[in-house]
Amino acid sequence: MAGTRTTRAVVLERPNVPVRVEELRLEGPLAGEVLVRMLASGVCHSDLHHANGDWGDPGPLVLGHEGAGVVEEVGPRVDGLRAGQLVALSWYYPCGKCGACAEDAPWRCTGTRSLQHRLPDGRTPLRRPEGTEILPLLAIGTFAEFAVVPAQAAISMPPGTPVEVAALIGCGVTTGVMAALRTAQVRPGSSVVVIGLGGVGLSAVMGAAVAGAGAIVAVDRVDEKLARAREFGATDVVASTDDREATLAAIREAAGGGAHFAFEAIGLPATLELAIDALRHGGTAVAVGIPPFGARASFDVGVLVDRSATIVGSNYGWSNPALDFPRLAELYLEGKLPIDRLIEERIGLDGVGDALDALARGEGLRRVVVFEDHP
């Protein structure tokens, strides 16, 4: 019989009102689900998109989608997970039944209910004490002491992985690193441009460095980010300004006349257009950042044809979390991905509101919620 417990959690009642820590009821795990005691959860720009209303108003949400914890209890009909295991949570759990899932391409899954913030059976495990339903963001809602998640969202991590590193692998690191390694397939000697140096963009820089890129040109409008980018493998930095032509010229020059691969890691049409214009012949622009609903961008069609260029979207870095999360952790443990350098500050659940404000101002790298009984 599945239990009901209480958990403290960060609730967004609706966009553009401050988040609040509340005590909620949590039901489960039912069949196919696991209960996770959260250990760490990064504050990512997608949490801010929800808080800002960029992505509509799905109803009261527990925010957080970049988390790791320990399996506390396993529901019926769950294979391969047991209590005590360290897991990182995927925010796009695969349905296991659609064509994309059959092709091992879970980032294209069409049957998941994660974008509706619901478990596979359509329910939410969270309620206020008086009974109001609360949705867990992307079906995981990691700014909470406990979460009940689909078993396929809980990915077992190698022993020795620091919990904050496991958490960051849950979103920003995988999105950025795998955009470089899988979507773009950056090659040794490639010339790479990364626009936007938050957790996602710096992870794309790390991924390009692991792939052996030649030039890695890091672009941001905040000087502090440019200085930090070199620690992750950037060879050149360009401060982007309102003077688009000057910014573009500086990027193209630093990239040796144009980029083989240009990554947009902000989610703005203007910077995607900049990435496309930064390409050399045969180059590929990779759209990684997710814009507000309905955003459209444009490009010079003649130039695109003339350069035989490619524009490609990369959701979650085209990752297969079950395989790629542990591989990224191994790369960290081998000293090849400095994921821990992304951590700006450790905070409590009470600090999430301020962390979202700092993210909106472009200040600092990842702030990570760590929970009190952190080992």
Could you list the residues that contact ligand APR (CB under 6 A)?
44-46, 49, 172, 175, 196-201, 220-222, 225, 240, 265-268, 271, 288-290, 359, 362
Q: Which is nearer to Zn ion, 214 or 362 (CB)?
A: 362
- For the CB of residue 70, give the shortest distance to ligand APR in the complex, in Å: 25
Question: Which burial class, exposed, middle or buried, applies to 102 when counting CB atoms under 10 A from its CB (0-12, 13-18, 19+)?
Answer: exposed
What span, in angstroms and rounded, lies between the C-alpha atoms of 237 and 259? 14
Which of Zn ion, ligand APR, none does residue 95 bind (CB under 5 to 8 Å by kind)? Zn ion
- For the CB of residue 108, give the shortest distance to Zn ion in the complex, in Å: 8
Q: Which is nearer to ligand APR, 310 or 315 (CB)?
A: 315
| Helix pair 269-277, 244-254: axis angle to 10 deg | 50
Instruction: Return the ∠ at Cα 295 (arms to 171 and 115), rounded to 5°.
Output: 40
Q: Considering only residues 21, 48, 98, 105, which one is a binding residue for Zn ion as defined by CB under 5 A?
A: 98
Tokens of residue 48, six digits: 């801010």
Of the candidates 65, 83, 63, 84, the residue with the CA atom closest to the CA atom of residue 74: 83
Q: Considering only residues 12, 26, 109, 276, which one is a binding residue for Zn ion as defined by CB under 5 A?
A: 109
Q: Say whether residue 9 binds Zn ion (CB under 5 A).
A: no
- For the CB of residue 106, give the shortest distance to Zn ion in the complex, in Å: 7
Tokens of residue 39, six digits: 């250990």
- For the CB of residue 184, give the shortest distance to Zn ion in the complex, in Å: 19
Q: Considering only residues 171, 197, 286, 290, which one is a binding residue for Zn ion as defined by CB under 5 A?
A: 171
- For the CB of residue 96, give the shortest distance to Zn ion in the complex, in Å: 6
Q: Which is nearer to ligand APR, 25 or 299 (CB)?
A: 299
Q: Which is nearer to ligand APR, 22 or 273 (CB)?
A: 273
Going from the C-alpha of 268 to that of each of 45, 275, 292, the distances in angstroms are 13, 11, 8
Q: Which is nearer to ligand APR, 170 or 201 (CB)?
A: 201
The alpha carbon of 226 is separated from its chain's Cα centroid by a whole number of angstroms, namely 20
Which of Zn ion, ligand APR, none does residue 109 bind (CB under 5 to 8 Å by kind)? Zn ion
In 96-240, DSSP assigns E strands to 126-127, 133-136, 146-150, 154-156, 192-195, 216-220, 236-239
Q: Which is nearer to ligand APR, 134 or 229 (CB)?
A: 229
Q: Evaluate whether 79 touches 68 at the Cβ level (below 8 Å).
A: no
User: 69-82: string of b/e by CB count within 10 Å (b at 16+)?
Assistant: bebbbbbeebeebe
The alpha carbon of 18 is separated from its chain's Cα centroid by a whole number of angstroms, namely 22
User: 279-308: string of b/e by CB count within 10 Å (b at 16+)?
Assistant: bbeebbbbbbbbbeeeeebeeeeeebeebe
- For the CB of residue 171, give the shortest distance to Zn ion in the complex, in Å: 3
Which of Zn ion, ligand APR, none does residue 222 bind (CB under 5 to 8 Å by kind)? ligand APR
Which of ligand APR, Zn ion, none does residue 200 bind (CB under 5 to 8 Å by kind)? ligand APR
Q: Which is nearer to Zn ion, 197 or 255 (CB)?
A: 197
Type of residue at 119: L
Q: How, if at all, do strands 310-313 and 4-12 pair?
A: unpaired
Which of Zn ion, ligand APR, none does residue 265 bind (CB under 5 to 8 Å by kind)? ligand APR
Number of residues binding to Zn ion, judged by CB under 5 A: 9
Position closest to ligand APR via CB: 198
Q: Say whether residue 111 binds Zn ion (CB under 5 A).
A: yes
HSE of 165, CA atoms in CB hemisphere, 13 A = 21
Which of ligand APR, Zn ion, none does residue 271 bind (CB under 5 to 8 Å by kind)? ligand APR
Q: Is the dihedral of CA 247, 249, 253, 256 positive or negative?
A: positive
- For the CB of residue 298, give the shortest distance to Zn ion in the complex, in Å: 27
Interacting residues with Zn ion (CB under 5 A)? 44, 46, 94-95, 98, 101, 109, 111, 171
